[in-house]
Structure 1
Amino acid sequence: MFHIGVVAPRLPGAAELLRRVDEAGAALGTGQEQPELSLVWQPLDGRWDAWQRNDPDTVRTQLALACVRLRQAGAHFFVCPDDTAYAPLDAGDADLALPGLHVADVVAAAAQRQGFARIGVLGTRWTLGWRRYADELEPMGLTAVPLPLWDQTTLHSIIFDELARGRSSLTSRDTVLSLIEDLRRAGCQAVVVGCPELGALVTPASSPLPLLDATQLLADAAVAVAVGDAPLPTWHGGPPARSLADPEVRSAG
């Protein structure tokens, strides 16, 4: 059994990921040992300005520190529920203390499995200005479709000014659903929900397009790795991936 580490820049998103991990673990069935999990809250309030100044190293340093603490707690790999945080993590060359499941890798694999060729992306302005989704999808013959810049600004405001503060409104829900409808009209076959809090507004039943829920996909992938149904991730190096047959790994579990 591998130990899951969670890097949490924002607690609301982390809480949603933990709920999904708990559900995925429970779905393993009775008699199956549940994965161990540790979380480090590494708040980035006041540091996103550095990212806007094209200084991602300042943000990455804080996130890298969280990985060090998770490794000290016994974690074998990490996940992060905040899509926005992956952009500064991508910006550096130095290995993190742990390997991580990259949200774009996980989402791209799900899109390919489900047969979607043209995928819209919802998230913060930083997520939508980041090319990792496109970089992962394009080699598979898939296309990532961003929102227009003015719609990115609207969605960013809804996420940070409302959802991240525990608020939501019918007006915001209708706005987000309208953005998804615009993506559908642009030929998209599915949409990435790249922010945990967006789940408060958008559900599979209400969405004009099938949802690729990044939080759910990360939770499922983390549990699969933890129980040995999927290999340890290798993104950004860290300790080499080891087999569940490794005595040290067995004793850690």
Structure 2
Amino acid sequence: MFHIGVLAPRLHSAAEMLRRIDEVSASHPDGHQQPELSLVWQPLAGGADAWQRNDPDTVRTQLALGATRLREAGAHFFVCPDDTAYAPLDEPGADLALPGLHAASVVAAEAQRHGYARVGVLGTRWTLEWRRYADELEPMGIAAVPLALTDQTTLHSIVFDELVHGRTSLRSRDVVLELIDGLRLHRCQAVVLGCSELGALVTPAVSPLPLLDTTRLLADAATAVAVGDAPLPHWRGGPGEPAPGTTSPDVRTATR
């Protein structure tokens, strides 16, 4: 059994991830031995200003500190429930203290499993300006379809003016459903909810397209790793991953 580290810039998204990990691990055949988990709330003090200054290095430094604290708590790997955080983590820099699951890799594997050929991507402006989803999906023959720039601005405002403050409205839900329906008209077969708060606004029951909810998918992937149903990740930040089969030094000695 491996120890999960949750690196959480926002507590709302962390709460949903913890709930999902608890649900999935409890339903596992070995659910009587649920994985150990540590949480570091790394709220990115000044992070919004760093984003506005186009200074992802500052944000990455703060997130890296959280990864170090998780390692000190005994975690074998980390998962981050905030999609936007993966953009600075993808920036070049020193290796993170722990290997982590990457949102784009997890989503791409799920899209491939379902046989999707074309998926839309929703998220903050920073997530949508970042090409990691396309970089993961396109080698699998899956097209990643972004929103138009005006729609990106609209969605970014909904996320930061309402959702991150715990507010939802029928108007905002209808706007997001229209965006998803527009992606459906562009022949998308599913849509990535690349922001944890969007899952509270749009549910599978009302969505015009199947949802690839990154928070749920990352929680499921973290549980699979923790119970030994999937291998430990190798990614430690930066734009790429080591070649398959390589293992970081602290992972070699990890025991279940």
For the aligned pair, the TM-score class normalised by the smaller chain equals over 0.9
User: Between the two proteins, what is the percent identity of the paired residues?
Assistant: 75
- Secondary structure of the residue aligned to 1:144 is strand
Higher mean C-alpha deviation, range 96-105 or range 37-46: 37-46
Structure 1: tracts of 5 or more residues without a match: none
- Secondary structure of the residue aligned to 2:171 is helix
Letter of the aligned partner of 2:140 in structure 1? M
Could you tell me which residue of structure 1 aligns to residue 180 of structure 2?
180
Return the offset for 1:239: 3.9
In 2, the alpha carbon distance for the partners of 1:52 and 1:211 equals: 30
Could you tell me which residue of structure 2 aligns to residue 120 of structure 1?
120
- Say if 1:31 and 1:82 are closer, same or farther in 2 by CA, change over 3 A: closer
In 2, the alpha carbon distance for the partners of 1:75 and 1:30 equals: 20
Return the offset for 1:242: 4.0
Higher mean C-alpha deviation, range 24-33 or range 145-154: 24-33
Paired residues of 2:76 and 2:251 also in contact (CA < 8 A): no
Could you tell me which residue of structure 2 aligns to residue 18 of structure 1?
18
In 2, the alpha carbon distance for the partners of 1:211 and 1:128 equals: 17
Could you tell me which residue of structure 2 aligns to residue 98 of structure 1?
98
In 2, the alpha carbon distance for the partners of 1:242 and 1:93 equals: 20
In 1, the alpha carbon distance for the partners of 2:27 and 2:232 equals: 21
In 1, the alpha carbon distance for the partners of 2:2 and 2:142 equals: 32
| Structure 1 outlier segments of 4+, above 6 Å | none
- Say if 1:178 and 1:31 are closer, same or farther in 2 by CA, change over 3 A: closer
- Say if 1:25 and 1:191 are closer, same or farther in 2 by CA, change over 3 A: same
The TM-score normalised by the length of structure 1 is 0.94
Return the offset for 1:31: 5.4
- Secondary structure of the residue aligned to 2:197 is helix
Return the offset for 1:30: 6.2
Count of equivalent residues: 247
The TM-score normalised by the length of structure 2 is 0.93
- Say if 1:97 and 1:177 are closer, same or farther in 2 by CA, change over 3 A: same
Paired residues of 2:25 and 2:31 also in contact (CA < 8 A): no
The aligned runs of 1:231-242 (5 Å cut-off) are: 231-236=231-236, 239-240=248-249, 242=251
Paired residues of 1:97 and 1:239 also in contact (CA < 8 A): no
Could you tell me which residue of structure 1 aligns to residue 241 of structure 2?
none
The aligned runs of 1:162-201 (5 Å cut-off) are: 162-201=162-201
In 1, the alpha carbon distance for the partners of 2:108 and 2:207 equals: 20
- Say if 1:242 and 1:58 are closer, same or farther in 2 by CA, change over 3 A: closer
In 2, the alpha carbon distance for the partners of 1:171 and 1:146 equals: 22
